[in-house]
Structure 1
Amino acid sequence: MFRRPVLQVLHRFVRHASETAAGLVLQRSLNRVQLLGRVGQDPVLRQAEGKNSVTIFSLATKEMWRSGESEVYQMGDVSQKTMWHRVSVFRPGLRDVAYQYVRKGSRIYVEGKIDYGEYMDKNNVRRQATTIVADNIFRVTRQKRKK
């Protein structure tokens, strides 16, 4: 006799808690990128009027696959595709370190998010740009020792 009302209250509480949690889960989102590649150009430090400065560089990543009928036996032609990413660093400490130490050809790991934007080019044509906004950068290339 006592169990039934307790179960009903417990059931209502669990249903309410799960509906609340489900609402929170639906409201969250994720925009994370992880890239490992080689720097295509030395970083450039830019500053627009009234805005914070930004360090910008390009990063190349490669995708490789084996084509042909004998993929199991490691036969066939190897194909590859290089993708170029524009990386922007806004965080003050990281921005300065990236500008000083990242160099063309360095192998680095970048964590960040994707940002899509639009701009007008010099011919007043609307263009779209995709940028990786870096939160962390790690150099994978070892430093050469000076003799």
Structure 2
Amino acid sequence: MRVQQMNHVNLIGQMSTDPTFLEVEGGKKVARFSLSTKESYLDEQGNTKSLKNWHKVTAWGKWVPVLEQLGAKGQALAIEGRLRSRFYKKNGERKSFTEIEINDLVIL
């Protein structure tokens, strides 16, 4: 039986950094920033605890000019996208990181 696979992420949070903008090969522009999300849960004693996460986010195409105009640290966003893992070598050692690549974005 073949299973349909999916790589889909939805997050609502705040930009924890100002976006940085780079021009890559072929004149394409990319925006990168960090998005923080907070979740709450009850511990074993019934106390409410919160957990904060930071996510690396990358935006291409039509979202770059939007972020150039409206993106700033503290801005609330809803994003929809997919996970991307990237690999590189540093000092001969293989390194990796995972980021969220935006498909859709709503400024809140």
TM-score by length of 2: 0.87
Structure with greater helix percent:
1
Name the CA distance, whole Å, in 1 between partners of 2:6 and 2:15.
Answer: 26
Runs of 5+ consecutive residues of structure 1 not aligned to the other structure: 1-21, 141-147
Stretches of 4+ moved more than 4 A in 1? Answer: none
Q: How many residues align?
A: 108
Q: How does 1:28-47 map to 2 (within 5 A)?
A: 28-47=4-23
TM-score by length of 1: 0.66
Considering Cα pairs closer than 8 Å and 6+ residues apart, tell me whether 1 or 2 has the greater RCO.
2
Q: Give the superposed CA RMSD.
A: 1.8
Runs of 5+ consecutive residues of structure 2 not aligned to the other structure: none
- Once the two structures are superposed, residues 93-141 of structure 1 have per-residue CA deviations (whole angstroms, 9 ceiling, x without a partner) of 22211222111001110000000111123x332111101000111111x
Larger radius of gyration: 1
Name the CA distance, whole Å, in 2 between partners of 1:93 and 1:50.
Answer: 16
Q: Is the 8 A contact 1:114 1:133 kept in 2?
A: yes
Residue 105 of structure 2 is aligned to residue 137 of structure 1? yes
Name the CA distance, whole Å, in 1 between partners of 2:94 and 2:27.
Answer: 22
Identity %: 27
Structure with greater strand percent:
2
Residue 60 of structure 2 is aligned to residue 126 of structure 1? no
